[in-house]
Amino acid sequence: MSVINLPAFCNLPDKLMPMIERFNEFRYFMLEGGRGGGKSQGVVRFALYLAEQLELRICGGRETQNSIEESIYTLARDVINDYDLNFEVQASKIIHRVTGTPFTFKGFREQGAWNIKGLEGVDLLIIDEAQAITKRTLDVIIPTIRKENAKIIFMMNRYLRNDAVYKEFADRPDCLHIHLNYFDNPFCSGALRKEAEICKAKDDRDYQHIWLGNPLEEADDFLFTAKELDNTQTFEFYYNEASFGHRVMGVDIARYGQDDSVAVVLEQKGPDQWEQIHREKWSKRDLMDSVGRVLDLKMRFKPDISVVDCDGIGAGVCDRINQEKEDSVVEYHNLPAKSDEDWGKNFGNNRTKDYYTIKDMIQLSRLRIKDIAILKDLEEIRFEYSNRNVKRIVSKEKMKTKHNVGSPDHSDALAMAISEIGNISKVYEKKTHQLPEYASDDAFDGNYGKHSVLPQHTGGW
């Protein structure tokens, strides 16, 4: 389909034009952002244009619909009346008088049951308030839309950072993802813009959610905020990196059938600044395969300290590697954490303390992470309190059974690497960043390049 010379009623913000220009390239479209961005207006007007040109079946849906007025029916009716378009507006349906294209409107859940009757033949499904769509509803709807060239458009102002639709479609290659706000919409009224500025002056948190479309930090048990995870991707470090360059590697060995083994490498960029520079995963459960991969990573990235998960089957990997003194690794055990007066906090175990180290480093702009897999894992990390009011990161098993999320293998590997950055000074005082020995002040130091690794994780910071 080639859309050229759009009619006057189909005026859209420029930021929405890729939806029209690239309509045939994608099956899914996710339009998200704050109030006044023109998402609903743009989509409804485009759908009306399509209905004028082609014989289609179009449906407007939402999680629940108590009355037709709650749907995009009202918006479509108003555009039809304003521009005197050739549609018959009925009490619960809109039909184009020439092409016969019908618009129907429904809530996907009625009295606890899913209302998907008639969706099988839909060509275009427009889902409004998509932040309210649950995963269970999504799992019912998606396979129901079966036509080869059918399209689904999601419109949402994100409520939670792990909204089912956003989590599923944000990074899919068959989904066009567009974020737009009121200042991206030239058709946004002056009155609405004034309301946005009043809200901004009164309550920045409300402004961020209502007008900029940022998710609410709704749960008190998430360890990291969405803003923190956004910030860690853009930190700038202003040091001579040639004076640093230390590396630490953490390796999380898979324990269960769906888990992956993951290695994460950190590199020092300043006195207290670190960057995640590599992430690698493998799914084979064979002991010697994991041993070989860890040794290969050590050879390629030359970490000063390598930390390997030695609880569970990872113990075999540690034992095999540590048989060779020169290739030894630090054994990571998630033991109960000792009270730490410097922290002023009590943590239930080493894993919890290491995750809080990650949080502190991000808040202090000392850790740069750009890897999406690691960031997604961090987004799901939650904490809880024991009966002694001690904080503890929710276990992998509980994350799977209670919160229905996968094992955070990537972020666990990061936490293991973080656990040893405080022990770099025990390796040697200074190491140049990827420079030949003749360029280093330490080139003539007889101890240059030599170190011994601590035998067991100490949770250093």
pLDDT digit string (tens) for 370-385?
Answer: 998 999 899 888 888 7
Nearest to 355 by CA among 330, 389, 373, 381: 381
- Name residue 349's amino acid: N
Contact 424, 248 (CB under 8 A): yes
The token pair at 22 is 């690239």
**Do residue 61 and residue 162 come from a single domain?**
yes
Sheet (strand 261-268) strand order = 330-332, 305-309, 247-252, 261-268, 274-282, 367-368
pLDDT digit string (tens) for 35-54?
Answer: 999 999 999 999 999 999 99
Give the chain's domain count: 2
Residue 117 maps to a domain? yes
Residue 380 maps to a domain? yes
Q: How far apart are CA 430 and CA 274, in angstroms?
A: 15
Residue 220 maps to a domain? no
**Do residue 184 and residue 285 come from a single domain?**
no
**Do residue 121 and residue 82 come from a single domain?**
yes
CATH code where residue 273 lies: 3.30.420.240
DSSP state of 28: E
Q: How far apart are CA 89 and CA 73, in angstroms?
A: 9
Specify the DSSP element, H or E, that contains 151. Answer: strand 151-156
CATH code where residue 87 lies: 3.40.50.300
| Residue range of the domain that includes 289 | 230-444
**Do residue 85 and residue 191 come from a single domain?**
yes
Per-residue pLDDT of the chain (461 residues; tens, 9 = 90+): 344 578 889 989 999 999 999 999 999 999 999 999 999 999 999 999 999 999 999 999 998 887 888 889 999 999 999 999 999 999 989 999 999 999 999 888 765 556 777 788 899 999 999 988 888 889 889 999 989 999 999 999 987 777 889 989 988 999 999 999 999 999 999 999 999 999 999 988 788 888 998 886 655 678 888 788 888 998 988 888 777 889 999 999 986 666 789 999 999 999 999 999 999 999 876 788 888 999 999 999 999 999 999 887 778 888 888 887 666 889 998 887 665 444 446 778 889 999 999 999 999 999 999 998 999 899 888 888 776 667 888 888 888 777 667 789 999 999 999 999 988 877 654 444 444 443 333 333 333 233 333 334 434 32
Q: How far apart are CA 115 and CA 100, in angstroms?
A: 24
Radius of gyration of the chain (CA): 27
CA distance readout (Å), 347 to 145, 301, 366, 390, 414: 48, 32, 22, 6, 18
* Three-state secondary structure call for residue 264: strand
**Do residue 279 and residue 141 come from a single domain?**
no
Nearest to 396 by CA among 309, 290, 288: 309
